[in-house]
Amino acid sequence: MSINALMSQPAVTAPASRPQSTRPSEEARVASTFSLPWRQRLSVLVTLHFLCVFAALLWSYAPSPLLQRLRRVLSPYLTTLHLDPSPTQFFRTHGALDDTGHHIEVLVEQDEGRQWQPIRDYPRGTPARWRQLQGAKLVGQLMEADAEEDIARLMRDAAAAAIHQGRIVSAIRVRRQQLQLPEDVTNVADARRDPLDASYFETIYTGDVLTRDGAVFVVKRTTPAEAATVGGSNE
Q: What is the tens place of the pLDDT at every residue in 142-186? A: 877 777 888 888 889 889 988 988 888 999 998 888 877 766 666
Is pLDDT above 70 for 233?
A: no
Under a CB-based contact definition with an 8 Å cutoff, are residues 83 and 122 in contact? no
Answer yes or no: is 227 within a domain: yes
Burial profile 101-121: b = 16 or more Cβ within 10 angstroms, e = fewer? bbbbbbbbeeeeeeeeeebee
Q: Is 120 a member of any domain?
A: yes
Q: Does residue 141 carry a pLDDT above 90?
A: no
Examine residue 143 and state whether it is found in any structural domain, yes or no.
Answer: yes
Asked if residue 88 belongs to a domain, the reply is no
On whether residue 182 sits in a domain, the answer given is: yes
Residues 6+ apart with CB under 8 A from 158: 104, 106, 119, 135, 172
**Residue 191 near residue 199 (C-beta atoms within 8 A):** yes
Full residue range of the structural domain in which residue 39 is found: 26-80
Ramachandran angles phi, psi of 53, nearest 5°:
-65, -40
- Could you say which of 18, 45, 80 is where a domain stops? 80
Sign of CA dihedral 144, 150, 154, 160: positive
Q: What is the pLDDT of residues 50-80, one digit of tens each?
A: 888 888 788 776 667 787 788 788 888 887 8
pTM comes to: 0.52
Name the domain count of the chain.
2
Decide: helix, strand or coil at residue 21.
coil
Residue 47 is assigned to a structural domain of this protein: yes
Do 224 and 120 fall within a single domain?
yes
> Residue 110's pLDDT is what?
83
Residue 40, domain member (yes or no): yes
Q: How far is CA 166 from CA 6, 132, 174, 207, 222, in A?
A: 123, 19, 21, 19, 28
Residues 65 and 114 in one domain: no
pLDDT in tens, 28-48: 565 555 555 778 888 888 998
- For the chain, give the mean pLDDT: 73
In a domain, 64, yes or no: yes
Among the listed ranges 11-25, 47-61, 130-144, which one has the minimum average pLDDT value? 11-25
Phi first, then psi: give them for residue 31, nearest 5 degrees: -65, -40
Q: Are 130 and 165 part of one and the same domain? A: yes
> Average pLDDT in the 205-224 region?
87
